[in-house]
Chains A and B, each alone.
Chain A
């Protein structure tokens, strides 16, 4: 209540003074309320409701935390989130630094591999990893046995360690992109200052460069942490056979017949609490320091000469990509082109039929492919636009500090809600008048946009933070409106960050499963749902063929996009 009146008050005050773009902010706030607040409030209400009658009860909370197994699952999720996010930093930050600041060779190859990694649905990657590191027959284990003659291989993917590795493999691209886009904006002059004072490259990097991009790294850490605890596919594949539960697999059980939506909602509440806590921490750490790196005063960016060390660094980058991209893709390609993948690599086992059937004979796949990319595209546009608006409102303090905090929280909140729960919230909110969206494409597009809004926001936020308001002030002083300042100065400066944000939403939207599965209807099928259904049919050849198709089309679309934006987009250093 006070939040929205605060918004209105602040906005109306601005309205009286010169700012003619205020309607944009009002609209952004309304859309945010529609997409995030309404489903969240529904979720909260449902958690206190008795299933049949709708009367007030606390029974849902008692049921959700009444068993030690349920509480243990919560603990497992936190462990998973923490270690996966930490591993993501170890993978992503050095690669971002290497690609952004150094003269390491093979940047294009590394970058393409990271893109490929990001496109593989985590679920598909997990299947690949089962074949690589299954304790009995995993290729890696068999290799170790063959080479050393030991009885059994050392790797077991069905463990917390295995799950952490797989989750980190498919989440580190977030860290990479966030860190890199922030590093791209740090000028060499700041590093020069340290070098002149006698600091080594290593010391400069650790004490100047990385601290400057700390907000981006922290934002990415939080995002990856939240992503890790909200995933369903990989834990279902790896944690269950490993004999442990995480929050999402536990939530699934609350949806068993008869579904207990109230209990599920109650069980999801601590996740919201954790999100609030993380944001508070992030603010504590970064609020008192300045991170403005891009000013109107130019600034040069030179690659750091690594000498011999560029080779180990390249080796590291390629090693990570091998874990996340090359090895799983070999497995998936083998299955996609196999008559029977259990027979392994032989020439007479090779066939194009799986791909042919998927592409040409199956109407479902064709429609689902079109839907997937259409919805992902629409969702990305909505998410990026909205995120940019909110980031701008908050950073330029167009609303009060508290309102700003609330807006920021609302924008980030969807990420922590497991997709299944978000879908239920959406379902509860938008299947009754005045918003009848169930069965239409819009409910999927809006759910995707909401689900990945935090990614778009974290990206836009980091980008806007790094731009000195002086640049816009110059326009305003010279008589330009805020609108002019945004369209003529801010957007051009942010163009690459925005394109990055678009891709960061587009890719996960193409592979999003957990919301889609509850919201799709007969005419709105998407590829992720088809993949999921295949997983349950034991038909791994088709699953791999559809997965491969998804990866190939997404990579092509993005490469075409780059061509369109300029060939060396995201690879070139920003001209000052």
Chain B
């Protein structure tokens, strides 16, 4: 009840202020959108399994969706990529259709689902709005579309490390002065870390990790664990996520980020619609929404990157065009992650 009244108040406020976020009238929508919206209203509600965002951000995105499309309720289950995937598999095996949208951060999930015929084909109309450099990461056949992007870079505790002394590039983390002071995640738990390990191997060979081992890095699970370790001052520098680190800095925690001169790792995360989606029209509408302005603005506020053109970065975040980004090819990632997981365990013993 309370939630709804807040939403009405919000809607009223936006109407009064004439802000663009007001519900778009059906007749103002392009025909395809109006059509999807009508069909989605009949489905009433839909559920997103997402690993892309924090709970708060996922919740804000759903609220923004419901504001734009009154009458369609947006539910979400926010969890880690592996758990989201496990749940989807469970649902499929149990023949219980729950998720209408599946958003994982592990890109290897999508080809696997596609191969088994468990994804629905849909080419969003809003695909044209996507940043050109990100277009290549969506499925050319239209079984999944990139809806989120973020960076992994070097992070540090600003009370312990002066800006001038912070590492400037990835090999700087191997400097003996950081012995017992580096924090990283584990590729078996985190899709981010897995991709990062593949990238480091590609750039510097496995030697990189043999040397990193000598610095006894602290190995957590999720890439976000590095944020906790820096805040606790247990570790000084880390290979961490941009978005979570800056969100924590916004609260006043003493954290800083460095965009490595040899390139920040670009993480792209697709969304797909399961073939058995109970609300396929609402799902399509949601994917379109994710490639539109409102969703991009919500994401940018949480320091994620905008996947569409023409959105300004949040204060304190470098705009994407000013950053050197690198990313292994999709094949290198899909083939590489299982391989580096084994190597990682051999080198670090866990």
Q: Write the residues of chain A forming the contact surface with B, with a CB cutoff of 8 angstroms.
A: 69, 130-131, 134-138, 158, 236, 239-241, 243-245, 252-253, 255-259, 339-343, 349, 362-364, 427, 431-432, 438-439, 517-518, 521-522, 530, 533-541
- What's the least CB distance linking A528 to chain B, in Å? 13
Instruction: Known pairs A533-B80, A534-B55; list 4 more (Cβ under 8 Å).
Output: A243-B350, A244-B349, A252-B188, A539-B244
Nearest B residue to A423 via CB reads B90
26 A-B residue pairings within 8 Å (CB atoms): A69-B345, A135-B234, A136-B180, A136-B233, A137-B233, A239-B350, A241-B219, A243-B219, A257-B85, A257-B106, A257-B108, A257-B112, A341-B253, A342-B157, A342-B248, A431-B90, A438-B94, A518-B86, A518-B87, A522-B98, A533-B78, A533-B79, A535-B222, A538-B241, A539-B54, A540-B231
Nearest B residue to A519 via CB reads B90
- What's the least CB distance linking B234 to chain A, in Å? 4
- The proximity string for B residues 199-224 relative to A, scoring 1 for CB distances below 8 Å and 0 otherwise, is 00000000000000000001111101
- What's the least CB distance linking B231 to chain A, in Å? 4
Nearest A residue to B183 via CB reads A241
Q: Which residues of chain A have C-beta atoms less than 8 A from B24's C-beta? A: none
B292 within 8 A of A: no
Q: Is the beta-carbon distance between A257 and B109 smaller than 8 angstroms?
A: yes
- Pick from A253, A342, A521, A535: contact of B254, CB below 8 A: A342
- Pick from B89, B106, B230, B254: contact of A343, CB below 8 A: B254
- The proximity string for B residues 1-25 relative to A, scoring 1 for CB distances below 8 Å and 0 otherwise, is 0010000000000000000000000
Q: Is the beta-carbon distance between B108 and A130 smaller than 8 angstroms?
A: no
Nearest A residue to B99 via CB reads A522
Q: Which residues of chain A have C-beta atoms less than 8 A from B222's C-beta? A: 535-536, 538
- Pick from A339, A432, A522, A540: contact of B228, CB below 8 A: A540
Nearest A residue to B108 via CB reads A257
- Pick from A131, A240, A534: contact of B232, CB below 8 A: A131
Nearest A residue to B349 via CB reads A243
Complex formed: what's the CA distance from A259 to B85 in Å? 10
Q: Is the beta-carbon distance between A255 and B248 smaller than 8 angstroms?
A: no
Q: Is the beta-carbon distance between B77 and A538 smaller than 8 angstroms?
A: no
- What's the least CB distance linking B39 to chain A, in Å? 22
Q: Which residues of chain A have C-beta atoms less than 8 A from B131's C-beta? A: none
- What's the least CB distance linking A92 to chain B, in Å? 30
Q: Which residues of chain B have C-beta atoms less than 8 A from A342's C-beta? A: 157, 230-233, 248, 253-255
B266 within 8 A of A: no
Q: Is the beta-carbon distance between B244 and A538 smaller than 8 angstroms?
A: yes
- What's the least CB distance linking B270 to chain A, in Å? 15
Q: Is the beta-carbon distance between A432 and B219 smaller than 8 angstroms?
A: no
Q: Which residues of chain B have C-beta atoms less than 8 A from A240's C-beta? A: 186, 219-221, 350
Given A432-B94, A536-B222, A255 contacting B82 (CB threshold 8 A): yes
Nearest B residue to A428 via CB reads B93
- 6 nearest A-B pairs in the assembled complex, by CB-CB distance: A538-B227, A538-B224, A342-B231, A431-B94, A340-B252, A137-B233
B75 within 8 A of A: yes
Q: Which residues of chain A have C-beta atoms less than 8 A from B180's C-beta? A: 135-136
- What's the least CB distance linking A63 to chain B, in Å? 14
Q: Is the beta-carbon distance between A257 and B94 smaller than 8 angstroms?
A: no
Interface residues of B in 19-48 (CB under 8 A from A): 47
B297 within 8 A of A: no
Nearest A residue to B3 via CB reads A363
- Pick from A253, A259, A517, A539: contact of B89, CB below 8 A: A259
Q: Which residues of chain B have C-beta atoms less than 8 A from A431's C-beta? A: 90, 93-94, 96
Interface residues of B in 59-109 (CB under 8 A from A): 59, 75, 77-80, 82-83, 85-87, 89-90, 93-94, 96, 98, 106, 108-109
Nearest B residue to A136 via CB reads B234
Q: Which residues of chain B have C-beta atoms less than 8 A from A245's C-beta? A: 350
Q: Is the beta-carbon distance between A137 and B232 smaller than 8 angstroms?
A: yes
- The proximity string for B residues 232-244 relative to A, scoring 1 for CB distances below 8 Å and 0 otherwise, is 1111000001001
- What's the least CB distance linking A53 to chain B, in Å? 14
Complex formed: what's the CA distance from A533 to B110 in Å? 23
Q: Which residues of chain A have C-beta atoms less than 8 A from B350's C-beta? A: 239-240, 243-245
Q: Which residues of chain B have C-beta atoms less than 8 A from A534's C-beta? A: 55
Nearest A residue to B55 via CB reads A533
Nearest B residue to A438 via CB reads B94
Complex formed: what's the CA distance from A534 to B58 in Å? 13
B251 within 8 A of A: yes
Q: Which residues of chain B have C-beta atoms less than 8 A from A541's C-beta? A: 251
Complex formed: what's the CA distance from A538 to B245 in Å? 8
Given A537-B54, A538-B224, A343 contacting B94 (CB threshold 8 A): no
Complex formed: what's the CA distance from A341 to B157 in Å? 13
Complex formed: what's the CA distance from A174 to B232 in Å? 31
Q: Is the beta-carbon distance between B112 and A258 smaller than 8 angstroms?
A: yes
Q: Which residues of chain A have C-beta atoms less than 8 A from B55's C-beta? A: 364, 530, 533-534, 537
- Pick from B47, B59, B90, B98: contact of A427, CB below 8 A: B90
Given A130-B234, A341-B253, A256 contacting B188 (CB threshold 8 A): yes
- What's the least CB distance linking B246 to chain A, in Å? 11
- What's the least CB distance linking A68 to chain B, in Å? 12
Q: Which residues of chain A have C-beta atoms less than 8 A from B233's C-beta? A: 136-137, 342
- What's the least CB distance linking A50 to chain B, in Å? 16
Q: Is the beta-carbon distance between B244 and A537 smaller than 8 angstroms?
A: yes
- What's the least CB distance linking A428 to chain B, in Å? 9
Q: Is the beta-carbon distance between B253 and A536 smaller than 8 angstroms?
A: no
Q: Which residues of chain B have C-beta atoms less than 8 A from A540's C-beta? A: 228, 231
Complex formed: what's the CA distance from A285 to B93 in Å? 46
Complex formed: what's the CA distance from A192 to B18 in Å? 87
Nearest A residue to B81 via CB reads A257
Q: Which residues of chain B have C-beta atoms less than 8 A from A244's C-beta? A: 349-350
Complex formed: what's the CA distance from A367 to B180 in Å? 42
- Pick from B218, B221, B234, B248: contact of A539, CB below 8 A: B248
- What's the least CB distance linking A464 to chain B, in Å? 39
Complex formed: what's the CA distance from A444 to B20 in Å? 43
- Name the residue among B85, B186, B224, B251 with the largest chain A CB count within 10 angstroms: B251
Q: Is the beta-carbon distance between B221 and A343 smaller than 8 angstroms?
A: no
- What's the least CB distance linking B130 to chain A, in Å? 26
Q: Is the beta-carbon distance between A236 and B221 smaller than 8 angstroms?
A: yes
Nearest B residue to A424 via CB reads B90
Q: Which residues of chain B have C-beta atoms less than 8 A from A130's C-beta? A: 232, 234
Complex formed: what's the CA distance from A522 to B85 in Å? 15
- Pick from A131, A136, A340, A535: contact of B251, CB below 8 A: A340
- Pick from A136, A138, A255, A438: contact of B86, CB below 8 A: A255
Q: Which residues of chain A have C-beta atoms less than 8 A from B75's C-beta? A: 522
Interface residues of B in 321-350 (CB under 8 A from A): 341, 345, 348-350
Complex formed: what's the CA distance from A241 to B3 in Å? 41
Nearest A residue to B244 via CB reads A538
Complex formed: what's the CA distance from A190 to B203 in Å? 76
Complex formed: what's the CA distance from A69 to B350 in Å? 9
Given A240-B350, A438-B94, A257 contacting B82 (CB threshold 8 A): yes
Given A256-B82, A431-B96, A343 contacting B253 (CB threshold 8 A): yes
Q: Which residues of chain A have C-beta atoms less than 8 A from B220's C-beta? A: 240-241
- Pick from A362, A521, A536: contact of B224, CB below 8 A: A536
Complex formed: what's the CA distance from A129 to B57 in Å? 29
Q: Which residues of chain B have C-beta atoms less than 8 A from A136's C-beta? A: 180-181, 233-235
